[in-house]
Amino acid sequence: MERNIAIEEISDGNTYHSRDVVAMGCNDCAGCSACCHEMCETIILDPYDIYQFELALSQSLEQMLSNNLVELGYMDGFILPHMMPVLSEDDEMPHCSFLSPTGRCGIHAYRPGFCRLFPLGRYYRDGSFTYIHQIHECHYPLEQRTPVRIREWLGIRMLSQYEDFVNEWHYFLKDVDGYFHMKEEGSKEKEHICSYLLGLFYGVPYDTKQAFFPQFYERLNQAKKELSME
């Protein structure tokens, strides 16, 4: 989800790289699962998240949708999957379908990039991105937060390849969005492209015995060719 907002309004005003240390440690979220209640519909899943879910659950997107684990929604003009909010009998508010009764993430090792990131955000500029610390988002007292290196916070293997992927995906969608802006609202071609991208990057299951990144770039090249964006 892209927001056009001054970083000083939502963060400590600094930008960071994965090697940097940020005072964001929140005691391992002990006793708090606010994020998993409040943010489901804004936890947009990218193709790497879907690959991780396929690895963890051995389910395709279609199966995840029919099992009410994720749902589709419009985001920035695209149809993209996001976490599914569910309401159990005793709940006062909906929570993520993966939240356990003890308030912990039931898919922690495979959790989506946005869950790993929070309360960090990504600040995209000039064809790349840096991290920002959204200091007002986490409920843990600001003065008690402990220093953590971003690389460790994210806990993603092959982080530089992952960051390259995040960047490629973001700017690819941005380019397609630019193309959409030249089209009329509700145009059939726009609808067709949205469905095509959803099917190509999410709908066709990834081979979880193979690495994700080569499969992603193969699909990206295919999409660029199809959309004449090479």
Binding site for ligand SF4 (CB under 6 A): 26, 29, 32-36, 43, 83, 96, 98-99, 105, 107, 111-112, 115, 118-119, 138-140
Tokens of 103: 């308030």
**Residue of 8, 188, 33 whose CA lies nearest to 102:** 33
- Tell me the closest approach of the beta carbon of residue 79 to ligand SF4, in angstroms: 20
Residue 67 or residue 187: which is nearer to ligand SF4 going by CB? 67
Pairwise CA distance, residues 63 & 59, whole Å: 6
Beta bridge partners of 78: 75
Residue 27 or residue 210: which is nearer to ligand SF4 going by CB? 27
| Structural element, H or E, at residue 114 | helix 113-117
Residue 10 or residue 99: which is nearer to ligand SF4 going by CB? 99
Tokens of 121: 């955000």
- Tell me the closest approach of the beta carbon of residue 43 to ligand SF4, in angstroms: 6
- Tell me the closest approach of the beta carbon of residue 123 to ligand SF4, in angstroms: 19
Cα 116 to the center of its chain, rounded Å: 9
- Tell me the closest approach of the beta carbon of residue 42 to ligand SF4, in angstroms: 10
The SS3 assignment for 123 reads strand
| Structural element, H or E, at residue 128 | strand 128-133
Residue 98 or residue 206: which is nearer to ligand SF4 going by CB? 98
Residue 29 or residue 65: which is nearer to ligand SF4 going by CB? 29
Tokens of 215: 């499969």
**Residue of 220, 210, 209 whose CA lies nearest to 167:** 220
